[in-house]
């Protein structure tokens, strides 16, 4: 069953955020766009490249009213230790959620049960708490924050313009489509 257009399941998570331990729940997602980025583990190889890329683009996401949440099955203590020892991870100012029980990871269907780790899952969530985008990668395939940003912009555009759709490679300001009977077979 697809998670698209379903509500984020209730959760409570400890997080490391801006030098402090905090708590994040599904209620914190309401009223703004959110992106959940699941990754296998702290102190690994591909993960810091992705999380650093998100940190480098975080201000742009913030300008669009989007909060980023990275999530792994590590603890919030491990997130702090990684943040304190890695030049790349030190750049992160978005919340790093801890999911040591795997409850959130399972709810988003990205748990590798035999390893207790998450697949590389990316989820865009609208201000109502509905999942609008879901991508799951093999753990050897890193993600690109600028491509994610384009997809968030497309999701926001479609939400603000009912009846329109964004074609492949759409960027803000580009032409959109208005699906109708007249377009069938014309594209």
Cα radius of gyration rounded to whole Å, the chain: 17
144-173 per-residue burial string, b: 16 or more CB within 10 A, e: under 16: ebeebbbbbbbbbbbeeeeeeebeeebeee
Task: Indicate if 134 belongs to the active site.
Answer: no
Q: Quick one: the chain helix, strand, coil %, rounded to 5?
A: 30, 25, 40
Catalytic residue among 3, 8, 47, 131: 47
Which residues are designated catalytic?
Answer: 47
């Amino acid at each position: 069953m697809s998670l698209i257009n379903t509500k984020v399941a209730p959760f409570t998570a400890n997080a490391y955020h801006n030098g402090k331990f905090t708590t994040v729940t599904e209620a914190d997602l309401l009223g703004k766009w959110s992106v959940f980025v699941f990754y296998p583990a702290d102190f690994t190889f591909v993960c810091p490249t992705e999380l650093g890329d998100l940190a480098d683009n975080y201000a742009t996401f913030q300008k669009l009213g989007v909060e980023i949440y990275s999530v792994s099955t590590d603890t919030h203590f491990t997130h702090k230790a990684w943040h304190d020892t890695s030049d790349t991870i030190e750049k992160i100012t978005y919340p790093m959620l801890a999911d040591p029980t795997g409850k959130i990871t399972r709810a988003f269907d990205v748990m590798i049960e035999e390893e207790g780790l998450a697949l590389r899952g990316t989820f865009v969530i609208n201000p109502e708490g509905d999942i609008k985008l879901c991508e799951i990668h093999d753990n050897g395939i890193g993600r690109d924050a600028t491509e994610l940003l384009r997809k968030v912009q497309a999701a926001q555009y479609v939400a603000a313009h009912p009846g329109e759709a964004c074609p492949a490679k759409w960027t803000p300001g580009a032409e959109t489509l208005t699906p109708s009977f007249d377009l069938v077979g014309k594209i």
